[in-house]
Structure 1
Amino acid sequence: MSVDTRPATGLSRRAVTALAAFAGVVSAAVVLGVAEVVSLFVGAAGSPLFAVGSLVIDLAPAGVKEFMIAVFGTGDKAALLALMGILIVVISAAAGVLELRRAPFGVILLGIGGVVAVVAVVTRAGATGFNGIAAVVGGVTGVVVLRLAIDRLRLWQRAAERSATAVRVPGRTPAAPQFDRRRFLTLAVVAGAASVVAGTGARLMNATSTKVAAIRTKLTLPKAAVPAEPVPAAAMIDVEGISPFVTPTADFYRIDTALQVPSIDPDKWMLTITGMVENEVTLSFAELLTLPLEEHLATLTCVSNDVGGDLIGNALWLGYPIRALLAQAKPKAGADMVLSTSIDGFTAGTPLSVLQDDGTNALLAVGMNGTPLPLEHGFPVRMVVPGLYGYVSATKWVVELKVTKFSEDQGYWTPRGWDAKGPIKLASRIDTPLAGAAISAGTVAIAGVAWEQHVGVKSVEVQVDDGPWVEATLADSISADTWRQWVYRWPASAGSHRIQVRATDANGKTQGQTYQSPAPNGSEGWHSITVSVS
């Protein structure tokens, strides 16, 4: 009888490692999927993914925020989610391999991730220990799946090794590892697919944005009791490439700490004014809409806006003066700050004197450019305060105004190294031509915008190469709270040229040349570009 002694093919070390990593990733998917499903019953705040992302944002140093915005701009949140996804895959894959080679350290690693998720959930604004149940159940289920998957992988590996070394007799089939392979793959594929499907469905059910978006679409805002005057033609310069005087809502920048846009049913929204006041004030959305609303054009800008940056926009806002609400509350002597709080826990500290100033059109805004606020811009209600950077004034999804003192309370960004009061700095920007543009010789329109909200811009000057500063033509100003367009008709000659711009405000102060980064109180310096003329 002849004997076939050729070895069968077993599982290679590389293949086993890859399968263990796959099991780890599946286990992480189970953690997230199960947590999303359970959060349907314990509350949407129990969803761990966005809670962990928000925790990362809270703990990140100011420099990290600046880096993310500088690199990704308004796509910083999508970039953070992508980075989190990559880290989850890497860490969970490592947990799978570690569990295979050094059990139970893989389970411990996955368990640590679950603990972080629980901490992130229960420390979110408005969350309770009950919300943490979702992350606990998800974490335990993920650990069980990882243990089962790795145990089945070991059985498959051993069966493959026995099959590879077995003596083969003609007419007789040696024991094969097919049964153990099927058990492993069935568990991994079914658990992974079920988690993705169930988790995605639960996430969609947890996110009420679709419902709230439908409510917003049907909402009709009342007409303003104090409407804004139409923008005169003289306030706008007709030059291709210049920023429009009113920024389209779709193009308006968005910078905030909300990884997931809050979805608030306006019928359930409520604002309270608390703290150092004689009368606490409570206001519903319906009550807010019955008040005499006002329209005002105002430019908003983020403190992270670098020289020449685009984290700025000008819009028509509809709302009720905050000073009128504060007058009802009657702040007590000694108060100098209003701490506004968003439904997602973000806070901003605004000088009380600014909000009480009759000359500052600080609004509790409900409308933007003629429609209800978009969800991502604070629907149903946000703050708009001209003259201050957004991080100390422009709280979206606002639900509380606490009258207090700077010596006793801090806004979200102040303990992270940013200045407490954040007044807007004088700045100007070249919109056209673009940096690095190749243009033809002749008359070229150099144009852009300049701003210093609540102070106003008096003049703008342009310098080409080392030539003299030449005054640009300014569009008419309709308010000190809005930016002004400007243009200089340049007789361009062939060659490479550097173009700079600087502005002078209504008080006679001219922009400084020395560059300063956005942290800790806003960028400074002349915007400069280089173009090629032929």
Structure 2
Amino acid sequence: MRSASRGGRIARGALVGLVAGGAGLAVGELVAVATGEASAPVTAAGNWAISITPTWLEQFAIRNFGSNDKTVLLIGVYVTLALAAAVDGVLARTRLTLASILTAVVGVVGAIAAVTRPAADTSWLLPSLLAGLAAALVLPWLTILSLKESEPSAEPSERRRFVLGTLGTAAGALVAGYGGDAWIKRRYDVSAARAKVVLPTPAKVLPRPPASVRPNVRGLRPFFTPTSQFYRVDTALTLPRVDPRDWKLKIHGMVDRPFEITFDELLSYRFEEHDMTLVCVSNPVAGPYLGNARWLGTPLAPLLRRAGVHRRADMILSTSTDGMTIGSPVEAVLDGRQAILAVAMNGEALPIKHGFPCRMLIPGLYGYVSATKWVTDLNLTTFAASDAYWTPRGYSPQAPVKTSSRIDVPASGATVPAGTVVLAGTAWATHRGIAAVEVQIDNGAWREATLAAADTPDTWRQWSYRWANASKGSHKVKVRATDGTGAVQTSAVQGVVPNGATGYHTITVQVS
């Protein structure tokens, strides 16, 4: 009986702690309606967690969860807070004052985590502080009701007060929490503003690439990646929602003539269409974090020339609206390649998750040193004087895309009939182009594959190979590419840190 009674007390304490914590989070969510989605307690805690995540753990999350890594992180934050609240509720049954103080302290810590984010202002203190205060008030109230109702001599009315108080608070927290989240989504929604953007007409409209850019092989990816399937890798726990009417780009630093431009002014500039493949440095050998699209943007080089870049400036430290920083070489913008400020992707205004209303793109470089989403600031500086976000985390300050290739058809482990087997895939060396692709069967001689037509040196190039007289059994197939400079893809195996994965993609095929 004593054990069961003790278990009941622990369960009541945990329940009270969870309800008090939930009430606090609901209050924080409602306050965040005024201060912004990123200031909400759970979001602020998640963004803080991202900022202190070691590189190996960040890569583990990308490798195993892909675009769902943010969801996994949020679940982890909720679970952690729930466990802490439950323990605090149990503690409150014997140390009520201490438990209440700890609850308030959690709110203070959350407020500090929120206000120290790069894009924060002092109002970001409020959601977590008021969340902690609300939880610290609800906890002793429900704890006292729980202690009274659990006494042997408790009246039925005491039990009713506890049940009604707990259920009512829990229901109110759920309504306030979900309502606050929905309110935030509505208040900061920029979908209507995005739909109203009239895209500028490019100075030269590009024709669609010929059908010959894609081999006619069943199962091979399309030449242009559908926008809905384009990879997303970034640190934004909640998507920045920027109204074009509020957007400004500041160009400053080591320049003669710093200036700012609005979105309307940006749209008045000369625009170009450009087909370009983007690659994330987190892409493993043959990984999924690359995509090919047609972008619409205004050239970045004329803007830098207008600013008058100092001769010693070799780095553009670009900053997004959420505070992310990316360092790009000035030379890569001024050497003639089509570096742009993009406003559209595959014929439509940029999706919010891909940087609406404006992002930067520089061909030939991995995204973490070239493709700033939601860009609002370009600071001309030097690599010696400034570090971008990823550099202190073990990544190289400069990172040209490695020459790479992969086999898309058939999939590794697939069973194919004996005879002629068609292999197909993709190769890329952005800004250098692909000159050749070769296939090797079972460590035999390298055989040249048939390249599809080229679009631009900044896009991937697809290929196919007819493997004649494939015999029954298990076979290993490798692929390698040669870029436009004549450099052959390296066989050396390297992970994604510090500047991109290398090695040959190898698959196993069962021939029946």
> What's the TM-score once normalised by structure 2's chain length?
0.96
**What are the residue-to-residue correspondences of 1:110-259 with 2, within 5 Å?**
110-158=103-151, 161-162=152-153, 176-208=154-186, 211-259=189-237
- Paired with 1:419 and 1:86, the residues of 2 have a C-alpha distance of 35
- Residue 71 (1) aligns with residue 64 (2): yes
Give the deviation of 1:105 after TM superposition: 4.1
Runs of 4+ in 1 over 4 A off after TM superposition: 42-45
SS in 2 for 1:313: strand
Q: Once the 2 structures are TM-superposed, how far is the Cα of residue 417 of structure 1 from its aligned partner?
A: 1.0
Q: Secondary structure at the match of 1:211?
A: coil
Contact 1:271 1:283 (C-alpha < 8 Å) held by counterparts? yes
1:62 is aligned, of 52, 55, 58, to 55
Check whether the contact 1:226–1:292 (CA below 8 A) recurs between aligned residues: no
Alignment partner of 1:389 is 2:366 = yes
Return closer, same or farther for 1:430/1:109 CA change in 2, 3 Å cut-off: farther
Structure 2 distance, partners of 1:305, 1:108, is 46
| 1:11–1:157 CA contact under 8 A, matched in 2 | no
Q: CA deviation at 1:178?
A: 2.3
Query: 1:497-519: CA deviations, max 9, x gaps?
Result: 11111111112211222211101
Alpha carbons 2:20, 2:136 under 8 Å: kept: yes
Q: Which of 412, 416, 420 lines up with 1:439 in the alignment? A: 416
> Which whole-Å CA distance do the structure 2 matches of 1:350 and 1:37 have between them?
39
RMSD: 1.8
Taking the aligned partners of 2:60 and 2:447, their CA distance within structure 1 comes to 35
Shift of 1:219: 2.5
Is 2:297 aligned against 1:304?
A: no
Describe the SS at the equivalent of 1:334: coil
Contact 1:117–1:135 (Cα < 8 Å) also in 2: yes
Local SS of the residue matching 1:260: coil
Alignment partners' CA distance in 1, 2:75 and 2:216: 40
Is 1:477 aligned to 2:470, yes or no?
A: no
The code of the aligned residue for 2:302 comes to A
Cα deviation code 1:93-112 (max 9, x no counterpart): 11111222444443344334
Contact 1:33 1:138 in 2 (8 A): yes
Secondary structure of the residue aligned to 1:12 is helix
Tell me what 1:427 maps to: 404
What is the alpha-carbon distance in structure 1 between the residues aligned to residue 335 and residue 115 of structure 2? 39
Distance 1:56 1:305 in 2: 22
**How far 1:396 moved relative to its partner?**
0.3
Given that 2:204 and 2:272 are in contact with CA atoms closer than 8 Å, whether structure 1 keeps it comes out as yes
Structure 1 position 212, deviation (Å): 0.7
Return 5+ residue gaps in structure 2 as ranges.
none
TM-superposition CA deviations, 1:74-103 (whole Å, max 9, x none): 211111112222212222111111222444
Give the deviation of 1:220 after TM superposition. 2.5
User: Structure 1 residue aligned with 2:466, among 465, 469, 489?
Assistant: 489
1:209, distance to aligned residue in structure 2 (A): 7.5
CA separation of 1:475 and 1:503: change in aligned 2, threshold 3 A: same
Contact 2:405–2:428 at 8 Å: present in 1 too?
yes
Between Structure 1 and Structure 2, how many residues are aligned?
Answer: 511
CA distance in structure 1 between the partners assigned to 2:157 and 2:464 by the alignment: 77
> 1:459-504 CA distances to partner (integer Å, 9 max, x unpaired)?
1111111221111110121211000001111132211111111111
Name the CA shift for 1:180/1:448 in 2 (closer, same or farther; >3 Å): same
Tell me the residue number matched to 1:37: 30
Instruction: Please identify the structure whose Cα radius of gyration is greater.
Output: 1
5+ residue gaps, structure 1, are 1-6, 163-175
Q: Counterpart of 1:207 in 2: which secondary structure?
A: helix
1:379 to 345, 352, 356: 356
* 1:402-454 Cα shifts (integer Å, max 9, x gaps): 00111111111111111101111111011111111122222221111000101
Confirm or deny: 8 A CA contact 2:477 2:508 kept in the other structure: yes
Rounded Cα–Cα distance in structure 2 between residues aligned with 1:136 and 1:246: 47
Equivalent position of 1:15 in the other structure: 8
Percent identical: 44
Does the Cα contact within 8 Å between 2:45 and 2:77 map onto a contact in 1? no
Q: Is the 8 A contact 2:105 2:132 kept in 1?
A: no
Change (3 A) 1:109 1:443: farther
